[in-house]
Structure 1
Amino acid sequence: MARIRWVGFDGDDTLWKSEDYYRQAEADFEQIVGAYVDLADARTHQHLLEVERRNLKIFGYGVKGMTLSMLETAIQVTGERISARDLHRVIEIGRATLQHPVDLLPGIRDAVERIAADHEIVLITKGDLFHQEAKIAQSGLTDLFHRIEVVSEKDEATYARVLRELDVAPPEFAMVGNSLRSDIEPVLALGGWGIHMPYHVTWALETEHGVDADAPRLRVVENAGQVADALAAIEAMPAT
């Protein structure tokens, strides 16, 4: 039988809602910029995405990087005509997004408790350190995890480091998350297992991945209540 020693959980849009607040921030941003330009003609949404992609290596993931990218985009698409008052409104969008409530996804606490009863579990989440720490504290899940990792990027190198520090081999590790790009693909590449729990909305940059739907170490669940069963099915498989 395949033995899973450690189970990893993503944070945003796996344990709690997140992308919904980013989408609302983008809608509020476009309402401000729309007073200056035709949003379609200016390709405002695409322009913002391109600026965010370019800025990731400088500002990193999270609300603060998004807010700086919104300010840069607003200045560019309006030809520097946007007022200081409206730039301040963009900053307030970022502030409000940083202060959004932490709403756990349905059934996630029970799912985490069920898995923690038989496995060591680690929370691996990326983004701004202060914001992630605040969300983790507000989630009420902190005491369930044996380890918490807030990282700047979720790639093969990051997961390899975490697994080394946990002293666990990739085939003995399973990662639960909503993002194929960040939560699943790097773990599969290392030889671990991925349990994909899609969220109803995904940031465009997180949809860019190379995971095959029939990848042998990939399992897909519809909700948190199915995660433990997916893990049990993995462990029931013959060891290879």
Structure 2
Amino acid sequence: MDLPPHGIRLVGFDADDTLWRSQDYFDAAQREFERIVGHYVDLHDARAQEHLYAVEKRNIAVFGYGVKGMVLSMIEAAVEITAQRISAADLHRIVGLGKELLRHPVELLPGIAEAVAAIAGEHEVVLITKGDLFHQEAKVAQCGFAPLFRRIEIVSEKDVATYARLLQEFGLPAGQFVMIGNSLRSDIAPVLALGGWGIHVPYHSTWAHENEAEVAADAPRLRQVAQAADLPEAVRELVALSRR
């Protein structure tokens, strides 16, 4: 398609909890994890949620993001929380939680397929997601609209350095790029910091790690929408602003 000589030329989409449900399943797995370790300790006294998050956060640099890293962190946290009293059978049950997550079919969010198609009809689009490579590839293959994306990037981290590298590969200045996603930390803040544009689509449940970002709600290059159906118009609004 013909691209404008200035203004926004490329639209990026996040995947998990932007295109399809994800955090809901992680939340359910965590509740089951707490039920398992709750047979050994008082969850409140043991501060099980805080302990698990602390283990997950320190393990990101080792395991990365995704189901496999979460399960390994759950096993480590369970051993620590229970002072090594947890049984092999219960550890096996925690492994099973991860397998269930990896096998779960993709469930698209309402209206997102139509929104992506509408935006792809007006602009080139790319998918930028992070997490376990095999799991993300499987979800992308199942979503049904992967061919709409010019490129599909599965990265280990979504930070300023990663977006800067991708934009260089795309041959595009940050001011001609808008990123759509549910995470302020991973989808919005880094792109705004580079001089790009962002559309935040909050999800009803977000992992604590993804909330660790400060972005002004009235940032001039940022828009927030409540649902996927609002995305095409939000992109048009930012495109108009970017051409001034």
TM-score (norm 2): 0.96
Could you say which residue in structure 1 is the equivalent of 2:142? Answer: 138
What is aligned with 1:125? 129
Indicate whether 1:27 and 2:36 are aligned: no
Helix, strand or coil at the partner of 1:130: helix
Shift of 1:161: 0.8
Q: Identify which of 209, 215, 218 aligns with 1:211.
A: 215
Matched, 1:163 2:206: no
Aligned to 1:226: 230
How far apart, CA to CA, are the structure 2 residues paired with 1:21 and 1:203? 11
Shift of 1:100: 1.1
Q: What residue in structure 2 maps to residue 66 of structure 1?
A: 70
Query: 3-state DSSP class of the match of 2:178?
Result: strand
Return the offset for 1:239. 3.6
1:1-240 mapped onto 2 (5 Å cutoff): 3-237=7-241, 239=243
Q: Which runs of 4+ in 1 moved over 3 A?
A: none
Distance 1:11 1:125 in 2: 6
Q: Aligned partners of 2:242 and 2:30: how far apart in 1?
A: 47
SS in 2 for 1:121: strand
Measure the CA separation in 2 of the matches of 1:238 and 1:142: 27
Shift of 1:15: 0.3
1:235 shift after superposition:
1.8
Task: Show CA shifts across 1:139-165 (max 9, x none).
Answer: 112111111000000000100111111
- Opposite residue 108 of structure 2, the aligned amino acid is L
Mind listing any 5+ residue stretches in structure 2 that lack a counterpart?
A: none
Q: What SS is found at the alignment partner of 2:46? A: coil
Amino acid in the other structure paired with 2:231:
V
Q: Provide TM-score, normalisation by structure 1.
A: 0.98
Equivalents in 2 of 1:110, 1:163: separation in Å?
26
Consecutive unaligned residues of structure 1, counting only runs of 5 or more, are none
Q: What letter matches 2:33 in structure 1?
A: F
* Deviation for aligned residue 1:74: 0.5
Cα RMSD between the aligned structures? 1.1
Distance 1:231 1:64 in 2: 34
